[in-house]
């Protein structure tokens, strides 16, 4: 009898490091980005450029995946749980 | 008054100064702008109060199955309304009703009895918009006959003066009640989860926007499954995830690529990777089609036991749930679960969404998704004893703004 | 058999616009006209004074009364205007340079600070403003007073405004044409509500036949001009106007008097690009009886209709 789990040594530290690295990369990259002026944001205002534009679709998808998979969340807080996870 | 100006002087001067057109042409400066006339008049701030009210109705038909026997059907209807108030506020409400029916899965339940349940879920949120940001206070309530969940959240977003960088901080609290409904649970249990989300949205260019969100949850309480035999899980679960999303618009074709990656890890030792792409093809006459592809992989929880690999009676099908695996552990008071959701597997989703807009204020969509799960598709060692598992869903939606 | 012609119509700058292309594949035509539309919308987003987020609106907010300590009602406070110099990109600086040339060589009749007159002239209400209302606005019209230092621009008086309405649409037509020419188009034209930039003749070498509408009959053509290159623009007293007591008041306003131009029904000019054609036709409207001399000295082809409906034209062999 054995547990089918991967080795777990030192993972939490590694995870924190990944989180910090991603956040750091995202902020330091800002200085290299050419700032976009307000009048140049026509494309960015298009519905398909907005994250989670279809909220009901996003909610269905989140709900059905969380009944089949362990991972969840990511985009923000709120919404509430259900007995499926 | 002077003499009449000489037209030839102006013509000469302007002809000489027509340089800018040429320099732009030479440098191949790419012209980028809104390609949709519908955008005209819309302020392009990071977050502004919606100008119109929106109502949105969707139905979902969902079925998941193992090849041998169909498992669960869900029929759901959902409704969303968002109303702006006085230019600086908006109120959003959603209601979802699910009807769940079907046989509960083999190994994963005390019996193969038909289950039938309904779930009603409601959310409400109020947002106040400011010059450089917004604050949203929200609540959610969901009820099934064996589960009640209440959530409260507050989220604050603010932008830099250029509106190119937006920060998001969200704090949530969820309090759940698990109501006894099986022979394994005798008293009411509860579960409390606190979660924190930190996000940065960055405009990268006129056609690129990216978002990084870190999400931490800290949960305490009853995490076991009251319907599963000898299912005993730790009474705490902490998780961390990082979600990176990137939207890119192709000006020439007017199409848009959405990409996202999520890393998830939790105190049950599950690590998961999710990679997803979809591509919005804009077609003539306000049609668009969006194919999507998603890959997911997770490792197993430390207390997951594979029902077949560890079963002395390998051909367990004939015996029902292979309790011989976990019973000894359970009896010793150790954590154990055979829930497929805690196993190691990989999954692929493919599908497409077809959307049609009717003028500016109406749209309808239909979305089809096919989901396949296999132990062998996991990035590391997949769990051996899993049966291939799949699901199919179809959504119909209609949306109106006014 | 003639090669197919593709027409792409869209709305921008509150007008009807079209791109007509020939000599390219349907796929290329679709791709390139989308690019041309995008370029027009880019310019609209950047320079529309009706868009609070436009660069022009940023410049128009460059001078505001300082928020002084709470004013006592009815008492003049000693607040002073605060001026912020707005840095501009090369494209904007170039357009400001063009505005300078147009001002200089029109004797000040083409003044991009004259848009403030629209606060007095409301073409929906159809009311002739009080002379005093116009007198109060005239001090705000002064291109000479606009402060340009290095790559920055600032307005010296609160309430002053820049308005690219006099050449913005024309510039957009030229830019859209530049995008199409860069994309390899050699046949077709861009038409932004009558401001037309010809990319090149029809695939068989024949010129396009461009109609000029009759200034008094919207559904009739005054003339049809064959053009294979260059640009055509028309200014007229029929685009936005109202009539009161038998007199017609149009939207082409004289920056010195504050009153509309009234000598010509319309002036059409043929020029190397739309910006030149459009600014010449506007200046000619404002010059009133001196327009013919101005147009004649330019050497450009033109067609002007006076208030009696008589046609004055000169055509040069380009």
Q: What is the mean pLDDT of residues B257-273?
A: 96
Mutate to test the interface with C, among B6, B8, B10 (most CBs of C within 10 A): B10
- Within 8 A of C45 by CB-CB distance, chain A residues are 39-42
Phi, psi at residue C201, to the nearest 5°? Answer: -65, 175
Residue B58: the pLDDT is 95
Tens of pLDDT, residues A61-84: 988 898 889 998 777 676 555 555
Contacts 24+ apart (CB under 8 A), A10-17: A11/B265, A11/B269, A11/B271, A12/B265, A15/B240, A15/B265, A16/B240
Q: Is the predicted pLDDT of residue B272 greater than 80, yes or no?
A: yes
| C121 to B360, C52, C159, C241, C250: CA distances (angstroms) | 32, 21, 16, 10, 10
* pLDDT band, residue B183 (cuts 50/70/90): low
Of C150-154, C205-209, C314-318, the range with the lowest mean pLDDT is: C314-318
Q: Is the predicted pLDDT of residue C188 greater than 50, yes or no?
A: yes
More confident of the two residues C76 and C279: C279
Cβ-defined contact of C53 to A38 (cutoff 8 Å): yes
Q: Is the predicted pLDDT of residue B81 greater than 90, yes or no?
A: yes
Q: How many CB atoms lie within 10 A of CB C251?
A: 19
Residue C41 contacts A where some CB pair is shorter than 8 Å: yes
- HSE value, Cβ hemisphere, 13 Å, CA-based, for B64: 19
Among C276, C273, C247, C274, which Cα is nearest to C261's? Answer: C247
Q: Which chains have 3 or more CB–CB distances shorter than 8 Å to chain C?
A: A, B
Please answer whether residues B356 and B286 qualify as being in contact, where contact means their C-beta atoms are separated by less than 8 angstroms.
yes
Q: What is the mean pLDDT of residues C74-84?
A: 63
Phi, psi at residue B182, to the nearest 5°? Answer: -145, 170
* Percentage of chain A exceeding pLDDT 90: 2
Q: What is the mean pLDDT of residues C300-311?
A: 90
Distance between CA atoms of C303 and C232, rounded to whole angstroms?
11
CATH number of C50-63+83-162: 1.10.3980.10
Domains of chain B and any CATH numbers: 43-401 (2.40.160)
Domain limits of chain C?
Answer: 50-63+83-162
Residue C125: the pLDDT is 78
Please answer whether residues B314 and B294 qualify as being in contact, where contact means their C-beta atoms are separated by less than 8 angstroms.
no
- HSE value, Cβ hemisphere, 13 Å, CA-based, for A54: 23
Among C142, C46, C31, C40, which Cα is nearest to C89's? Answer: C46
Cβ-defined contact of B242 to A74 (cutoff 8 Å): yes
* Percentage of chain C exceeding pLDDT 70: 94
The alpha carbon dihedral of B249, B253, B254, B256 has a sign of negative
Q: What is the mean pLDDT of residues C106-126?
A: 88
What's the whole-number average pLDDT of chain B? 81
Among B352, B203, B210, B355, which Cα is nearest to B278's? Answer: B352
Across the interface, of C42, C55, C58, the residue whose CB is closest to A42 is: C42
Q: Is the predicted pLDDT of residue B261 greater than 90, yes or no?
A: yes
Tens of pLDDT, residues B157-169: 998 887 889 999 9
Q: What is the mean pLDDT of residues B309-318?
A: 47
Cβ partners under 8 Å of residue B189, min gap 6:
B177, B178, B221, B222
Q: Is the predicted pLDDT of residue C71 greater than 50, yes or no?
A: no
β-sheet bridge partners, residue B248: B208, B257
Cβ-defined contact of C300 to B254 (cutoff 8 Å): no
Q: Is the predicted pLDDT of residue C3 greater than 90, yes or no?
A: no
Residue C84: the pLDDT is 84
Distance between CA atoms of C175 and B24, rounded to whole angstroms?
9
Q: Is the predicted pLDDT of residue C212 greater than 80, yes or no?
A: yes
What is residue A25's DSSP assignment? H
Cβ partners under 8 Å of residue C317, min gap 6:
none
Residue B345: the pLDDT is 94
Distance between CA atoms of A37 and A47, rounded to whole angstroms?
19
Cβ-defined contact of A68 to B64 (cutoff 8 Å): yes
Tens of pLDDT, residues C6-44: 999 998 888 889 999 999 998 899 889 999 998 999 899
Tens of pLDDT, residues B132-156: 889 999 999 999 888 899 999 999 9
Residue B24: the pLDDT is 45
Query: Which of the residues in chain A have pLDDT under 70?
Result: 1-33, 76, 78-85
Residue B103: the pLDDT is 54
A42: which 2 tokens? 């026509």
Among B158, B153, B152, which Cα is nearest to B134's? Answer: B158
What's the whole-number average pLDDT of chain C? 87
ipTM confidence score: 0.82
More confident of the two residues B274 and C27: B274
H or E stretch at C169 = helix C168-182
Shortest Cα–Cα distance, A63 to chain B (Å): 11
């Amino acid at each position: 009898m054995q547990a089918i789990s991967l080795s777990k040594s030192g993972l939490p530290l590694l995870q924190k490091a990944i989180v910090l690295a991603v956040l750091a990369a995202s902020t330091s990259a800002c200085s290299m980005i050419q700032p976009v002026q307000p009048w140049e944001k026509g494309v960015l205002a298009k519905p398909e450029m907005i994250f989670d534009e279809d909220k009901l679709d996003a909610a269905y998808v989140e709900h059905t995946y969380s009944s089949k998979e362990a991972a969840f969340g990511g985009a923000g807080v709120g919404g509430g749980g259900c007995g499926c996870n | 008054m002077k003499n009449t100006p000489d037209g030839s002087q102006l013509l000469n001067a302007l002809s000489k100064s027509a340089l800018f057109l040429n320099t732009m042409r030479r440098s191949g400066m790419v012209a980028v702008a809104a390609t949709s006339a519908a955008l005209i008049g819309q302020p392009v701030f990071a977050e502004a109060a919606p100008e119109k009210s929106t109502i949105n109705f969707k139905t979902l038909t969902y079925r998941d199955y193992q090849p041998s026997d169909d498992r669960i059907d869900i029929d759901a209807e959902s409704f969303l309304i968002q109303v702006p108030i006085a230019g600086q506020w908006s109120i959003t409400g959603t209601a979802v009703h699910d009807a769940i029916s079907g046989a509960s899965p083999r190994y994963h339940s005390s019996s193969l009895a038909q289950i039938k349940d309904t779930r009603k879920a409601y959310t409400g949120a109020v947002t106040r918009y400011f010059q450089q940001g917004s604050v949203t206070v929200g609540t959610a309530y969901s009820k099934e006959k064996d589960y009640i969940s209440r959530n409260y959240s507050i989220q604050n977003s603010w932008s830099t003066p250029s509106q190119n960088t937006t920060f998001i901080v969200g704090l949530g609290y969820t309090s759940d009640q698990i109501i006894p409904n099986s022979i394994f649970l005798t008293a009411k249990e509860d579960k409390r989860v606190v979660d924190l989300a930190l996000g940065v949205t960055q405009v990268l260019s006129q056609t690129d926007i990216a978002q990084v969100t870190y999400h931490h949850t800290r949960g305490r309480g009853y995490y076991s499954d009251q319907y599963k035999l000898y299912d005993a899980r730790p009474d705490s679960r902490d998780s961390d995830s990082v979600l990176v999303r990137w939207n890119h618009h192709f000006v020439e074709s007017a199409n848009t690529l959405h990409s996202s990656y999520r890393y998830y890890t939790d105190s049950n030792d599950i690590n998961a990777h999710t990679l997803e792409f979809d591509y919005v093809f804009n077609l003539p006459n306000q049609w668009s089609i969006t194919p999507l592809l998603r890959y997911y992989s997770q490792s197993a929880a430390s207390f997951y036991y594979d029902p077949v690999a560890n079963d002395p009676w390998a051909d367990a099908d004939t015996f029902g749930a292979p309790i011989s695996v976990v019973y000894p552990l359970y009896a010793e008071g150790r954590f154990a679960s055979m829930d497929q959701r805690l196993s190691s597997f990989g999954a692929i989703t493919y599908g497409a969404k077809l959307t049609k807009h009717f003028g500016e204020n109406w749209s309808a969509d239909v979305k089809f998704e096919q989901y396949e799960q296999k132990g062998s598709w996991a990035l590391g060692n997949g769990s051996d004893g899993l049966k291939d598992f799949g699901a199919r869903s179809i959504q119909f939606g209609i949306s109106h703004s006014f | 058999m003639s090669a197919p012609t593709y027409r792409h119509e869209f709305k921008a700058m509150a007008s009807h616009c079209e791109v007509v292309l020939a000599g390219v594949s349907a796929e290329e035509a679709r791709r390139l006209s989308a690019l041309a539309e995008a370029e027009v919308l880019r310019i609209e987003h950047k320079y529309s004074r009706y868009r609070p987020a436009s660069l022009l609106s940023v410049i128009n907010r460059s001078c505001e009364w300082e928020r002084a300590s709470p004013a006592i009602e009815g008492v003049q406070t000693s607040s002073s205007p605060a001026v912020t110099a707005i840095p501009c990109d090369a494209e904007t600086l170039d357009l400001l340079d063009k505005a300078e040339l147009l001002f200089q060589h029109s004797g000040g009749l083409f003044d991009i600070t004259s848009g403030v007159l629209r606060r007095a002239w409301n073409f929906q209400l159809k009311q002739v403003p009080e002379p005093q209302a116009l007198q109060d606005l005239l001090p705000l019209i002064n291109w000479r007073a606009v402060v340009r230092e290095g790559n920055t621009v600032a307005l010296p008086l609160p309430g002053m405004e820049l308005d690219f309405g006099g050449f913005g649409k024309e510039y957009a037509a030229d830019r859209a044409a530049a995008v199409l020419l860069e994309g390899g188009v050699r046949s077709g034209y861009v038409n932004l509500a009558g401001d037309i930039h010809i990319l090149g003749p029809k695939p068989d070498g024949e010129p396009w036949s461009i109609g000029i509408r009759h200034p008094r009959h919207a559904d009739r053509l005054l003339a049809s001009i064959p053009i294979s290159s260059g640009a055509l623009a028309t200014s007229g007293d029929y685009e936005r106007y109202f009539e009161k007591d038998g007199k017609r008041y149009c939207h082409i306003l004289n920056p010195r008097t504050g009153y509309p131009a009234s000598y010509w029904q319309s002036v059409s000019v043929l020029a190397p690009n739309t910006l030149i054609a459009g600014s010449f036709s506007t200046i000619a409207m404002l010059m009133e009886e001196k327009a013919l001399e101005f147009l004649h000295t330019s050497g450009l082809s033109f067609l002007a209709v006076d208030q009696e409906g008589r046609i004055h034209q000169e055509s040069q062999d380009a």
